[in-house]
Amino acid sequence: MDMIVINCPYCGGRVERRANEYFANCSYCGRKVAFDDIKEEAELDLYRDRIVELQHNNSAFEFNRRQEEESRQKLRKWIKRRNITFTVMTLLHGLGFSIVGRVDEDSDMMVLGMTLLLAAWATLIAAVVLLPLAYPSYNYLTGENRPVNRFFLFLKLSAICIALCMLSILIGCIILAIFDLI
Ligand SMILES: [Zn+2]
């Protein structure tokens, strides 16, 4: 803040004040000196400071908002990728299991069934290894980079994948049973 110097109206001494203060004590006669004449100027200065502050806050807010939107999009993309991977894995596994459970051991269909099962397991392994690594670490709620417990995520995804494979076997069994009934 700039210092402004005037002469004391009582003793003529040097009185200093800060740009946004209306009063100062004269260091020569000790009297309180008012700066009413510069009140408007001081207020304008205050407004100018406030405007600069608001502009700064606004750009900081805008930056945070963009960061937040970006991390939301990353998370949405990750969830989409996870759902696609899970769907593909479950379908491959269910189909593979149904074929293997139905055809003769030395038929060509058996090769197809086994291939589908292997593809499902490869998808499973890729999913539980790659998805935790790709999980976005930016936390849009606090605006900070938080450490993601990727091992916990790995365990969680593995459990879900195994459950989905079991489910696909169950559905495969039901479909095979219905076919046998017909
Ligand atoms: Zn004075």
CA of 33 to the centre of ligand 1 (A): 8
What single DSSP character describes residue 33? E
Q: What is the pLDDT of residue 172?
A: 86
d(CA 75, CA 62): 20
What single DSSP character describes residue 104? -
CA of 8 to the centre of ligand 1 (A): 5
Q: Are residues 85 and 7 located together in one domain of the fold?
A: no
Domain assignment of residue 23, yes or no = yes
CA of 16 to the centre of ligand 1 (A): 11
Domain assignment of residue 133, yes or no = yes
Q: Are residues 17 and 86 located together in one domain of the fold?
A: no
Q: Are residues 100 and 176 located together in one domain of the fold?
A: yes
| Number of DSSP helices (H) and strands (E) in the chain, helices first | 3, 6
CA of 34 to the centre of ligand 1 (A): 11
d(CA 42, CA 23): 11
Range of the structural domain that residue 19 is part of = 3-34
What amino acid occupies position 71? S
Domain assignment of residue 123, yes or no = yes
**Interval 85-114: pLDDT, tens:** 999 999 999 999 988 888 877 888 899 999
Q: Are residues 156 and 87 located together in one domain of the fold?
A: yes
Q: How many domains in the chain?
A: 2
CA of 1 to the centre of ligand 1 (A): 23
Domain assignment of residue 135, yes or no = yes
Domain assignment of residue 45, yes or no = no
CA of 14 to the centre of ligand 1 (A): 8
Q: What is the mean pLDDT for each group of 10 consecutive residues in the chain (182 residues)?
A: 77 81 85 74 81 91 86 90 96 91 83 94 95 80 68 94 93 84 73
